[in-house]
Amino acid sequence: MESLGRQSYSRKEKSLGVLVSNFLRLYNRDDVDLIGLDDAAGKLGVERRRIYDVVNILESIGLVARRGKNQYSWRGFGQVPTVLSLLKEEGMREKFGIIPCVTNSEMVLYDQVREEPLKLSPDDQENSPSPKLDCKKEKSLWVLAQNFVKLFLCSDDDLITLDGATKALLNVSQDPMNMRTKVRRLYDIANVFSSMNLIEKTHIPETKKPAYRWLGPKAISEARFLAAPLCDRIEPKKRVFGTEITNFTTTKRAKTDCSKDQKQYESQNNTCSVIKQEQCDYKSAVKSLVGPLSPAGTSKKTNPGKSNNQSIDVLETLSSTHKLQYCNHELIGLLGHYTDTWRSWHEEFGRK
């Protein structure tokens, strides 16, 4: 039915790296707090599946945090140095303690972070206080990405090749097939990180083999992702590339579920802005509320989230503009935490 649209399909403009750039350009604003997956997919013109990739990788660096179903929160670049030092510490402590265990036809990752870095969201609402041993989920992209950066942070050698990383991240895989799959993921991750300038693609001097060099958080060119200066709208004025190409031209499947997708993508576009608006209101409210409350007063028993020292350290490294931004994000995070806590308490008491 439809023609092939524009000539020359380019694989490059659909790469994860580009997607991430657009993602950051879209959400790296001081007035963004919540990120809806559907909203992101719609605005960026890609299918949902890709957003999962982006968000998982970004989360490994602390740029975003999972808030709940369909919802992530923007944490910002100010968070990155903190997370990186946590990762480094962790990586050093366990000396690359990723011990893959090959059992017959299955690969099982041993242990895994018993203490997750950056613990902000206490896992959605409704969480029974049972210390269930879970961590079934911790198995990939997110973890792989973290281990990848640990390699850079904990290695004395700053040039790392992808199959070197593969070798290091799983234990001498005998199966070449398994390795191929893993390398694919590493390509994805590397693309994302290099598009942020966290790492840089080069090659080994002698061998000419492609490799990556660590550039570090200070090299992250946040400016590139600051979007337009001053206040402007998130209007669809700048439709991103081949918007929705994938979604609708590829009706290869006669499954009968086309209508479902369509429906979903239609009704989502304005949800996020509404939420964002509400959050802004919270923000100013909280600001005035917290003023007299925050300094050492601590009337609450438990301290949610993180240690104050760390936050303060981070603050020292930021410009005044970003300090404000950072503080706001922290406050929103705390507010969210308290809200969640209160909600679960309320539910529990209400029920019993």
Site for DNA in 293-352 (CB under 7 A): none
Residue 29 in tokens: 């604003």
- Rounded Cα distance between 97 and 151, Å, is 11
Q: According to the binding rule CB under 7 A, does residue 187 interact with DNA?
A: yes
Q: Are 249 and 14 in contact (CB under 8 A)?
A: no
Shortest distance in whole angstroms from residue 2 CB to DNA: 14
Which x/- pattern, by CB under 7 A, does the window 26-45 give for DNA?
Answer: -----------x--------
Which of 4, 5, 7, 11 is in the footprint of DNA by CB under 7 A?
A: 11
As measured in angstroms, the least distance from the Cβ of 240 to DNA is 12
The CA-to-CA distance between both ends of the chain, in Å, stands at 60
Question: Locate tokens 């694989």: which residue?
Answer: 11
Q: Does 112 interact with DNA (rule: CB under 7 A)? A: no
- Short-list 110, 85, 84, CA closest to 97: 110
Locus of tokens 């390795």: 179
Enumerate residues 127-166 that contact DNA by CB under 7 A: 136-137, 139-142, 162
Identify which range of 6-14, 86-94, 319-327, 340-348 contacts DNA by CB under 7 A.
Answer: 6-14
Give the range of 12-20, 271-279, 283-291, 308-316 binding DNA by CB under 7 A: 12-20
Alpha helices in 9-77, H assignment, sequence order: 16-27, 37-44, 48-61
| Tokens 């790469």 belong to residue | 15
What dihedral do alpha carbons 188, 194, 196, 197 form, nearest 10°?
160
Asked if residue 42 lies in contact with residue 59, where contact means CB atoms within 8 angstroms, the answer is no
Local structure of residue 179 (DSSP, 8 states): H
CB-wise, 199 or 327, nearer to DNA?
199
Considering only residues 252 to 271 of the shown chain, the ones binding DNA according to CB under 7 A are 252-253, 260, 264
Q: Does 174 bind DNA (CB under 7 A)?
A: no
Per CB under 7 A, residues contacting DNA are 9-12, 14-17, 37, 46-50, 52, 55-56, 69-70, 107, 124, 126, 136-137, 139-142, 162, 177-178, 180-181, 183-185, 187-188, 190-191, 210, 246, 250, 252-253, 260, 264
